[in-house]
Amino acid sequence: MTDGLQTLRSEIREWLASNAPRDWRSSADTHEAFVAQQRAWFSKLVEAGYAIPHWPAEWPGGGRSLAEQKVIYEELARADAPRLLLSFVSTYHAFATLHECGSAEQQERYLPAILEGETWCQGFSEPNAGSDLAAVSTRAVRNGDVYVVDGQKVWSTMAQYADRCLLLVRTSSDGPKQAGMTYLLMDMKAPGVTVRPIDQIQGDEEFAEIFLDNVEIPISERVGEEGEGWAVAQATLASERGLTLMELAYRMRGNMFRLADTIRAAGLAEDAGIQRDLGRVATQVDAVCALADRFLERRMAGQEAIGDASVVKNAYSRALRAWADLGLRAGGVDAQYREAITFGDLNTGNWMADFMNSYAWTIAGGSEEVQRNIIAERLLSMPREPKGWQL
């Protein structure tokens, strides 16, 4: 490690020792407390320059090299600091979309607001268009200087707390399904927008439904041209499948201590089967980190291929599932009791919640089946299955 990286590691480790919340799991015992805690932690990280290392250098704390980003994520995981769940879509999805596809006016208006605490959600999935994003049916009809939007979105992460929404709509039914899609930026407080949190089986309300009834969105809030929504959406999804997974992968590796502590507490440290499974999980986690590194290196060098992000996404979801499964098995009956309020996928401190949430990652950002199709067709150049083919 270079002297510069070691200095950065020492700086952030010292800062976290004084600033990272220690009781964040127990203190966020209501949804309101969770939101307040998340906003306060994000503000602290922004002020310190550690919230957006993946943003360009003109932003506070941005312009970090890949090696510097890794150091920051490793130290946040080592300190067991809370993830920025509330601002996750804002700092990754919204940023990537606006930075790569937004107009100068949109960037100037929205990117600074994100750092001031404005939060975004994503309006892609629908009741009949989850993994098949091209089947989006939420309709937008142009009326003068506005689009009038009607439809429904579902599984929108923390939409009940969001100020704005990345919205994918259909403006035409002619030609291929992808060709009739348009990308809009929607004010969540606009007349006609109704948000209903989804009461999940594990007790969380991490997701919400969004109902749109004659919602007017100005033409100036369109990203790209009309009918280019599919291409813009790929910028959003590439961020989720690749860039964000670097942080998540390093946090998973940083949380391996939780797995080891659970195994030791259960008296299973000498169990040959558990040792074997722990070795497999550790290898999977290291592989995901390596894949995420390679993805970002290729992306920064302009060498990213369509499908690279899908490889990372599938590897991560499988490793996370194995990680949480082993923790739940090692924890025994006690680990199956779920505490009151938890959010996230691996940082909750509760193995049952982590295990159930790990399965969401096999769907979020595109299901495993969709990702495998992308990998097969785009990276391996495999043909689509001929129509009428049967075993």
Residue 209, phi then psi, degrees to nearest 5 = -95, 145
Q: Using CA atoms, how far apart are residues 286 and 295, in angstroms rounded to an integer?
A: 14
Give the H or E element holding residue 267.
Answer: none
Residue 206 near residue 273 (C-beta atoms within 8 A): no
Using alpha carbons, list the distances in angstroms from residue 381 to 296, 359, 367. Answer: 22, 29, 20
Residue 389: inside a domain, yes or no? no
> Where does a domain end: 226, 261, 281?
226
Task: Give the whole-number percent of the chain exceeding pLDDT 90.
Answer: 54
CATH of the domain at 213: 2.40.110.10
Residue 14: inside a domain, yes or no? yes
Using alpha carbons, list the distances in angstroms from residue 128 to 131, 138, 151, 290, 350. Answer: 9, 11, 12, 35, 32
Q: Are residues 36 and 143 in the same domain?
A: no
DSSP 8-state code for residue 61: T
Q: Band the pLDDT of 302: cuts 50, 70, 90.
A: confident
Q: Which is catalytic among the residues 240, 297, 368, 385?
A: 240
Q: Is 240 a catalytic residue?
A: yes
Q: Are residues 158 and 240 in the same domain?
A: no
Q: Are residues 280 and 184 in the same domain?
A: no
Q: Are residues 248 and 348 in the same domain?
A: yes
Residue 183 near residue 168 (C-beta atoms within 8 A): yes
Which candidate, 310, 308, 283, places its Cα nearest to that of 295? 308
> Where does a domain end: 184, 210, 226?
226
Q: Are residues 331 and 219 in the same domain?
A: no
Residues in the chain: 391
pLDDT in tens, 116-142: 999 999 999 999 876 678 889 999 999
> Where does a domain end: 211, 226, 241?
226
pLDDT in tens, 67-78: 898 889 889 888
pTM here is: 0.83
Domain that holds residue 135: 118-226
Q: Round the average pLDDT of the chain to a whole number and report it.
A: 88
Strand 164-170 versus strand 120-123 pairing type? parallel
Residue 150: inside a domain, yes or no? yes
Residue pointed to by tokens 């506005």: 146
Residue 390: inside a domain, yes or no? no
Average pLDDT over residues 143-155: 96
Q: Band the pLDDT of 285: cuts 50, 70, 90.
A: very high
pLDDT for position 58: 94
pLDDT in tens, 347-389: 566 788 888 888 888 877 677 888 888 888 888 888 876 555 5
Residue 75: inside a domain, yes or no? yes
Q: Are residues 313 and 371 in the same domain?
A: yes
pLDDT surpasses 80 at 2: yes
Average pLDDT over residues 276-299: 90
| Lowest mean pLDDT across 8-17, 168-177, 299-308, 321-330 | 299-308
CATH of the domain at 291: 1.20.140.10
321: left (phi over 0), alpha (psi -120 to 50) or beta: alpha
Q: Are residues 219 and 260 in the same domain?
A: no
Q: Are residues 177 and 293 in the same domain?
A: no
pLDDT surpasses 60 at 391: no
Residue 327: inside a domain, yes or no? yes
How many domains does the structure of the chain reveal?
3
265: left (phi over 0), alpha (psi -120 to 50) or beta: alpha
Q: Are residues 66 and 17 in the same domain?
A: yes
pLDDT for position 131: 65
Average pLDDT over residues 291-299: 82
Q: Are residues 298 and 351 in the same domain?
A: yes
Q: Are residues 42 and 73 in the same domain?
A: yes
Residue 108: inside a domain, yes or no? no
Q: Are residues 140 and 198 in the same domain?
A: yes
Residue 281: inside a domain, yes or no? yes
